[in-house]
Amino acid sequence: MKTRTEYLKFHTKKHRAYVHITPQIEQIVSNSGVREGMVLVSAMHITAGIYVNDNESGLIEDIDQWLEHLAPFKKDYKHHETGEDNGDSHLKALLIHHEVIVPITAGKLDLGTWQRVFYAEFDGQRDKRVIVKVMGE
């Protein structure tokens, strides 16, 4: 079995951001030489996530508004008693989840017609990493 591990680095300019990373994942898969297998894409931070959905700006705004509705920024999270002020960021990351696994078939990501991979940042403006681990034959 072949494996390849690479890291993507992010430092968003905004507190919340949604970054289309499919091209970077495709390049890592191509460089791996894996023809049949899978790729794990995982945010290495508790206030960020990875998800698969359509790369359409209106939908991305809808996702952001939905997350803000479910986990709004507010001052009275218990987490804030630790001196942090990012309780909502942790909750948003839980809703999105921290990783996805994408199949690789014939050396390519085997995504549906409109599916793309995104990095979701909920507590930005500092350095963050995503691990990309390709496994297969």
In the sheet where 36-43 sits, what is the strand order? Answer: 2-10, 128-136, 36-43, 99-105, 108-109
pLDDT in tens, the chain (137 residues): 999 999 999 999 999 999 999 999 999 999 999 999 999 999 999 999 999 999 999 999 999 999 999 999 999 999 999 999 999 999 999 999 999 999 999 999 999 999 999 999 999 989 999 999 999 99
Distance (Å, rounded) from C-alpha 17 to C-alpha 39? 23
> Which residue range forms the structural domain that includes residue 117?
2-136
Q: How many domains does the chain have?
A: 1
The CATH number that applies at residue 21 is 2.60.120.460
pLDDT in the model for residue 78: 92
Long-range Cβ contacts of 68-72 (<8 Å, 24+ apart): 68/92, 70/95, 71/95
The 17-20 sheet, strands edge to edge: 17-20, 116-121, 48-53
User: Exposed e or buried b for every residue in 99-108, given b needs 16+ CB within 10 A?
Assistant: ebebebeeee
Q: What confidence score (pLDDT) does residue 27 get?
A: 98
- Cα separation, 57 vs 66, in Å, equals 14
The helix/strand/coil state of 42 is strand
Q: Which helix (H) or strand (E) holds 93?
A: helix 87-96
